[in-house]
Structures are given as structure tokens and as C-alpha cells.
């Protein structure tokens, strides 16, 4: 029979493995989105105030309204990049909203434009994937070390281990595992890339046409 504390560690590990995707989906991602929206809303308020200045000419007011539209679209798709924001806004609209506006937000940091073409930086994704795996391995090694220290100090009757040391080990075990699982969950999967490429191949030209109609030339954004 395993010691009670060992059983507790095993049960905690299983629970964390089951809950980590929901943690990232319902807590971590919304928290990031909240701060991004705060920044965008602050910028929207500033531009809106400028547009109400009666001394401005019609052209400047028009530019302010265009900027407000761009910021609103960036907010919907949860992008901090102007071009990516307006691109995905139009893309999702063409998809008739069968997916959410922020469906591909995990890919945003790895996308870039060359003229009117949007591309994925595969090298950057690969490097990030390796660094995530390396960090996850480091975290799980740390978890194993702290688990060993805790079990050893708890089961060895010749060691008078302070209670605070045991509590610290438990906390480090949980934190190491949580950090490792979150890191693994952040790895961009091939399925996500393939899905984006498939949709892009179907709708890209239509998206660019719409963007050029709205802004004259997406390259100037």
C-alpha cells in the first residue's frame, strides 16, 4: 500500500492533467484577451475623442472613423497586429461565422505579410516548439526531483524533516507540473496549421479583394 501522501500526489497529478486544457482555455487565454482589449479600448477612446473635434477637416475625421473600424475588428479577432486583425475579420465573415473570430489566434505570432500574401513562419514555430518541449522536460524533471525529496523525507524515519520543507516540496511539485502542462498545451499543432492553410487557400483572394475595397491597399495598413 502506498503512503497516503504518495497517493495524494498521484491523484493531484491526474486531476491536473485532466483540468489543464480547461485552465488554459477558460482562465489564461481570457486573461490575455482582457488586457489586449483594455489597450485597444483605450486607443479607441482616444481616437473617438479626436474625431469629435469640430476644428478637424473632413479628411482627418474620415481617417479617424477608419481607424476606429480597424480597432474594432482587431478587438473582435483578438489581434494586436493591424493587418492580421482586419484579415481574419474578413476571413471569418466569409466563412459565415462557422468558427469564432479568434479561431486562429494561436497562429498570430507566426504570421507575416509579403505584399498581399499572408505566410506562416515555419522556422519560428519549430524553434518555439523545441523550446516549449525543452522547458516542459525541465519542469517534469523538477517535479520528479521534488517528489523524490518529499517522499524520501516523509518515509525515512531517520530524517527529521521540517514541516515547512515538506509543504514547500508539495508546492514545487504542483507548480512544476502545472508549468510543464501549460507549456505543452501552448505547442502549435500541425492540425492547426493545416486547417488554416486549407481555409486560406479557399478564401485568401476574396479576403484581399474585400480589404483593398475597404482600405485601398492593405499594404498601407
Question: Taking a C-beta distance cutoff of 8 angstroms, is the pair 32, 79 a contact?
Answer: no
* Beta strands 117-120 and 111-114, pairing class: antiparallel
Task: Tell me the Ramachandran region of residue 78: left when phi exceeds 0, alpha when psi lies from -120 to 50, beta otherwise.
Answer: left
Specify the pLDDT at position 46: 65
How confident is the model at residue 194, as a pLDDT? 94
The residue that leads in pLDDT, 148 or 123, is 123
pTM of the model: 0.70
Alpha-carbon gap, residue 25 to 181, rounded angstroms: 13
DSSP per residue, 1-62: ---HHHHHHHHHHHHHHHHHHHHIIIIIHHHHHHHHHHHHHHHHHHHHHHHT-TTS-HHHHH
**Percent of all residues in the chain with a pLDDT value above 90, rounded to a whole number:** 24
| Cβ within 8 Å of residue 4, ≥6 positions away | none
- Please name which of 192, 22, 218, 33 lies closest in space to residue 110, comparing C-alpha atoms: 192
Is the pLDDT higher at 186 or at 221?
A: 186
Lowest pLDDT segment from 14-28, 96-110, 190-204: 14-28
Whole-Å CA distances, 135 to 26, 82, 131, 141: 23, 31, 6, 10
Residue 1's pLDDT band (cuts 50, 70, 90):
very low
126-153 average pLDDT score: 86
Amino acid at each position: 500500500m502506498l503512503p497516503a501522501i504518495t497517493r495524494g500526489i498521484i491523484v493531484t497529478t491526474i486531476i491536473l492533467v485532466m483540468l489543464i486544457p480547461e485552465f488554459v482555455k477558460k482562465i489564461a487565454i481570457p486573461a490575455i484577451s482582457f488586457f489586449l482589449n483594455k489597450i485597444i479600448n483605450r486607443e479607441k477612446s482616444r481616437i473617438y475623442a479626436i474625431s469629435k473635434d469640430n476644428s478637424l477637416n473632413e479628411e482627418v475625421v474620415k481617417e479617424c472613423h477608419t481607424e476606429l473600424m480597424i480597432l474594432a475588428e482587431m478587438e473582435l479577432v483578438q489581434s494586436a497586429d493591424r493587418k492580421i486583425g482586419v484579415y481574419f475579420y474578413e476571413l471569418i465573415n466569409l466563412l459565415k461565422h462557422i468558427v469564432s473570430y479568434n479561431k486562429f489566434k494561436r497562429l498570430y505570432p507566426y504570421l507575416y505579410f509579403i505584399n498581399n500574401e499572408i505566410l506562416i513562419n515555419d522556422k519560428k514555430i519549430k524553434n518555439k516548439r523545441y523550446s516549449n518541449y525543452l522547458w516542459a522536460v525541465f519542469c517534469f524533471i523538477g517535479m520528479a526531483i521534488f517528489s523524490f525529496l518529499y517522499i524520501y523525507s516523509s518515509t525515512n524515519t531517520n530524517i527529521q524533516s521540517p514541516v515547512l520543507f515538506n509543504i514547500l516540496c508539495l508546492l514545487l511539485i504542483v507548480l512544476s507540473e502545472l508549468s510543464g502542462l501549460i507549456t505543452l498545451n501552448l505547442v502549435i499543432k500541425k492540425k492547426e496549421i493545416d486547417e488554416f492553410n486549407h481555409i486560406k487557400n479557399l478564401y485568401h483572394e476574396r479576403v484581399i479583394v474585400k480589404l483593398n475595397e475597404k482600405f485601398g491597399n492593405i499594404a498601407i495598413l
